[in-house]
Structure 1
Amino acid sequence: MDHEKVNILLVDDQPAKLLAYEVILKDLGQNLVIASSGREALEVLLKTEIAVILVDVCMPELDGFELAAMIREHPRFQKTAMIFISAIQVSDIDRLRGYEMGAVDYVPVPVVPEVLRAKVKVFAELYRKTRELERLNQDLEDRVRARTAELENSTAKLRESEERRSMAIAAGKMGSWDWDWITGDWMWDEGQYRIFGVGPESFAVNPANVQALLHPDDVDQLRKAIAEFNKGTRSYETEFRIVRPDGDVRWCVGTAAATVDDSGRVMRVSGVTVDITERKRAEERQTLLAREVDHRAKNALALAQSIVRLTRADEVKAYVSAVEGRINALARVHTILSLSSWQGAELSKLIDEELAPYSLGGQIKLAGSEVQLLPATAQTLALALHELFTNSAKYGALSTRTGRLAIGWQVEHELLTLTWEESGGPLVMTPKSRGFGTRSLLASVESQLGGQARFDWRAEGLLCRLEVPLVRKTAATTTPGNFEAASSAELQRASG
């Protein structure tokens, strides 16, 4: 392998000596650089990387000792090898001075070519080896720095990945686990402990303890999974329930995968557990809601059927108008209840819905605080208010521009009292018989809600007082699903 040539500086004020040195050192195959004075040598050193300096001790201006001292003062050349050539007999003191100036060796004149060549070669090779070692060290340091940077970058990415995984597991209510099939050792991460409602400081993960947290009806799922892996199954997924130490039941879906050796024997099983309790509960609520909607739809149709069958009128137009009005009243209250997820309805909203078709300006006065009605109460009162508004618009105060209507309500001891007071309308006379609307109003308020309905047919206008308990004590009315069917029965009795 060819080595890189090094530079050897020859310093002497006599050209003949320089030529002699060149001839002697030519066989070394190195670059020989010539300087005829100390100052010229300094200029060369500043521009060129020199391995060995061969310098004559006796030179005008700067002798060899002075040049060596100046060279050693520069940090860059403190370790550069210098060989002194002396044509005079030097004493031990001169040698010591030379060594103090940085000389590494002395060569006397006359110069023995083999000796000079051997000494220069040694220091040239030493320089080359030193530089190669420096380059190797630098290369190694660069590699170490690059590798360290890669490791730091990899570690940072791994840390970020682990943080993202932990965040995903926490947000997704997930946990991971690992089971050594040979030793029986288990490993749970933080998410797994969180799902099962236990802590690593107090819960030892082993088959017996894990099985104790499984719902009794789902213990067989664990046994089945173990059996499947023993049969050669590589992955398994199932839904199961756990019962936390505090009694909370959680639904989970577990996915597991087996790692096997070359012979196909299971070595370990790893998996992920996801808490799907909220999803399960949402599905249950959806199913329950679907059944409830189906039930309410059937009962609402039954009630509408009763309204159609039992409504009386002298002509088709009046019949259609009465049926449409009652069904629309029922639809409006259903809309209000749907918006509240069938939790109830405010009395003022029921009245506003019934007022909407009339646009009577200042003829109607309302007074009362907010009252929240149960679904059954809201439906019954909506139909009752519809009958009152319809009769008033046909025959009472709302049939003329001069008529006035005051509706007030209050609640005391869970009893709602609603007062309907008309004035300024046509002259009122006590009816000889009650119509379907009045009979159905009485039947629904008194029989269905357990309240009372009183009518005072004053000449100046109808005065009606409805008293409705807000909390029913009978089984029939405490079950919302029974309302429409019971209302249908009351309408039939009212039509008799």
Structure 2
Amino acid sequence: MDQEKVNILLVDDQPAKLLAYEVILKDLGENLVIASSGREALEVLLKTEIAVILVDVCMPELDGFELAAMIREHPRFQKTAMIFISAIQVSDIDRLRGYEMGAVDYVPVPVVPEVLRAKIKVFAELYRKTRELERLNHELEDRVRARTAELEASTAKLRESEQRRSMAIAAGKMGSWDWDWISGDWMWDEGQYNIFGVSPDNFEINPANVQALLHPDDVDQLRKAIAEFNKGTRAYETEFRIIRPDGEVRWCVGTAAATTDESGRVVRVSGVTVDITERKRAEERQNLLAREVDHRAKNALALAQSIVRLTRADEVKAYVNAVEGRINALARVHTILSLSSWQGAELSRLIDEELAPYSLGDQIKLAGPEVQLLPATAQTLALALHELFTNSAKYGALSTRAGRLAIDWQIDEELLTLSWEESGGPLVKTPKSRGFGTRSLLASIESQLGGQAQFDWRAEGLLCRLEVPLTRKTAAAAPSKFDTAGAAELQRASG
């Protein structure tokens, strides 16, 4: 199925440059919208949904920085990707100013067509995926609203029939009661006893015993209801919790109506109690699911954006391949986590997914117990393994048929230790400086997971050792000295 096209806004005061950008970006197959000034760009934005804005820094009347500031002031465009094009030498201060205004990247003049297309393509895809996630969120919200409407309609029907005592018993979920306001006598039906988890054989109904079954935080609801009836209120409804004798907490909604004598004095109060525990739990699950969807969507976009921003390459093709490889690794682990309902991912499955693109036969040996990783640990470790496999396939043992790779892992007191040992490949020399992949691997393992990564560049092959905490508690306590080093590595990687 053809994917929906997105709109890309090109802003420049020079027609020739606009035409050049159109020619360069035509092959992307997206909708190209042009504006010859900042004000015209603002008019377009108010009428059209824009995925990416390509804007010239130097323009008369309204330059690129001023335009970006005005765009960011509008709530609708606070997350719209903006790429600046500058034909002059941009200072670090100007570059920082541009990023503060919301720019996601700079493209210098003369423009390299392949680089510009690659950058625009990445942000167009991110926009398309974001819209898809937003659509899924809206569908989820619609289902929640529909369910809430059903529950409200059900409550309305309950109010209409609250005077009919025959509805009081419904499989232990509903009960009715009657309180003689003058004598203090109570009457409960079977459903009421079932809801409170007591038996008529050994439970005496009186205000003290009833109050003892109410949740301490909801006792005031009973006092408030009595006060309202004393003030002349004829009907009252509230939600409250009870604590059954076995310790189980249940949610209920209670509806009460007062009967008065000829002088208007309350003589009797009758009511219906409905056990709504399952409804409350369903609402909590729906709310949790909505928050989880939003959280995972933001995390996925943040990871993808970090990959795009931090990846470095000397050539456009290498840049595109590196970005696609890392995003594909992220996508693979997301698929695994989705299949487990985001409960976790097995380490062996992560390794198998990274091995899938290669035809390596018996070059690789794996050994280790089954390990279930937390979602956050699985995401970070999957990207680290991707870097190791990619580097090995390019320069290490997996770059030749004679090369061998042994991966084994073990667990000791909630600490995963993974050993990566290469042999039989090209002669290895200790690198003079760490590449981006190595630096990002160190930063992710040490800073994000509170673990440790060690490299031994032996002549016969790389030996890498990763130590990763398996629990959130361990991961939170483990960092110390590795946090600072990992953060510094990531900063140098992004520089």
- What is the TM-score normalised by the length of structure 2? 0.56
Residues 342, 481 of structure 1: alpha-carbon distance in 2 compared, 3 angstrom cutoff: farther
Residues 17, 450 of structure 1: alpha-carbon distance in 2 compared, 3 angstrom cutoff: closer
Distance 1:109 1:433 in 2: 30
Query: Deviation at 1:189?
Result: 2.7
* Aligned residue number for residue 479 of structure 1: 478
Asked whether the 8 Å contact 1:250–1:275 carries over to 2, the reply is yes
Query: Deviation at 1:22?
Result: 133
- SS of equivalent to 1:169: coil
Query: Deviation at 1:351?
Result: 1.1
Distance 2:71 2:248 in 1: 86
Distance 2:103 2:470 in 1: 116
Residues 265, 131 of structure 1: alpha-carbon distance in 2 compared, 3 angstrom cutoff: farther
Please give the per-residue CA displacement for 1:425-469, whole angstroms capped at 9, x wherever unaligned.
Answer: 444433332100011112222344343323333444333222334
- SS of equivalent to 2:169: helix
Asked whether the 8 Å contact 1:7–1:30 carries over to 2, the reply is yes
Residues 142, 263 of structure 1: alpha-carbon distance in 2 compared, 3 angstrom cutoff: farther
Greater Cα radius of gyration, structure 1 or 2:
1
Residues 40, 351 of structure 1: alpha-carbon distance in 2 compared, 3 angstrom cutoff: closer
- SS of equivalent to 1:209: helix
Residues 129, 181 of structure 1: alpha-carbon distance in 2 compared, 3 angstrom cutoff: farther
Moved more, 324-333 or 220-229: 220-229
Residues 327, 234 of structure 1: alpha-carbon distance in 2 compared, 3 angstrom cutoff: same
Query: Deviation at 1:420?
Result: 1.9
Residues 313, 245 of structure 1: alpha-carbon distance in 2 compared, 3 angstrom cutoff: same
- SS of equivalent to 2:114: helix
Distance 1:17 1:122 in 2: 22
Distance 2:115 2:447 in 1: 135
Distance 1:163 1:362 in 2: 77
Residues 169, 318 of structure 1: alpha-carbon distance in 2 compared, 3 angstrom cutoff: farther
Q: Runs of 5+ in structure 1 lacking a partner?
A: none
Residues 395, 206 of structure 1: alpha-carbon distance in 2 compared, 3 angstrom cutoff: same
* Aligned residue number for residue 116 of structure 1: 116
Asked whether the 8 Å contact 1:416–1:467 carries over to 2, the reply is yes
Query: Deviation at 1:384?
Result: 0.9
- SS of equivalent to 1:279: helix
Please give the per-residue CA displacement for 1:346-368, whole angstroms capped at 9, x wherever unaligned.
Answer: 21121122223335444433221
Please give the per-residue CA displacement for 1:330-376, whole angstroms capped at 9, x wherever unaligned.
Answer: 33333433444444322112112222333544443322110122333
Residues 487, 290 of structure 1: alpha-carbon distance in 2 compared, 3 angstrom cutoff: farther
Please give the per-residue CA displacement for 1:294-348, whole angstroms capped at 9, x wherever unaligned.
Answer: 3444344333322222211011221122122222323333343344444432211
Superposition RMSD on alpha carbons, in Å?
Answer: 43.3
Please give the per-residue CA displacement for 1:158-187, whole angstroms capped at 9, x wherever unaligned.
Answer: 999999999995745333323334543212
Moved more, 195-204 or 52-61: 52-61
* Aligned residue number for residue 245 of structure 1: 245
Asked whether the 8 Å contact 1:299–1:485 carries over to 2, the reply is no
Distance 1:418 1:364 in 2: 15
- SS of equivalent to 1:437: helix
Query: Are positions 1:140 and 2:120 aligned together?
Result: no
Identity, in percent, stands at 91
Moved more, 230-239 or 417-426: 230-239
Aligned residues: 495
Residues 150, 407 of structure 1: alpha-carbon distance in 2 compared, 3 angstrom cutoff: closer
- SS of equivalent to 1:67: helix
Distance 2:138 2:93 in 1: 41
Asked whether the 8 Å contact 1:24–1:113 carries over to 2, the reply is yes
Moved more, 233-242 or 373-382: 233-242
- SS of equivalent to 1:171: coil
Query: Deviation at 1:239?
Result: 1.2
Query: Are positions 1:393 and 2:397 aligned together?
Result: no
Distance 1:231 1:305 in 2: 61
Query: Deviation at 1:127?
Result: 106
Asked whether the 8 Å contact 2:237–2:256 carries over to 1, the reply is yes
Moved more, 307-316 or 237-246: 237-246
Distance 1:203 1:357 in 2: 69
Asked whether the 8 Å contact 1:306–1:491 carries over to 2, the reply is no
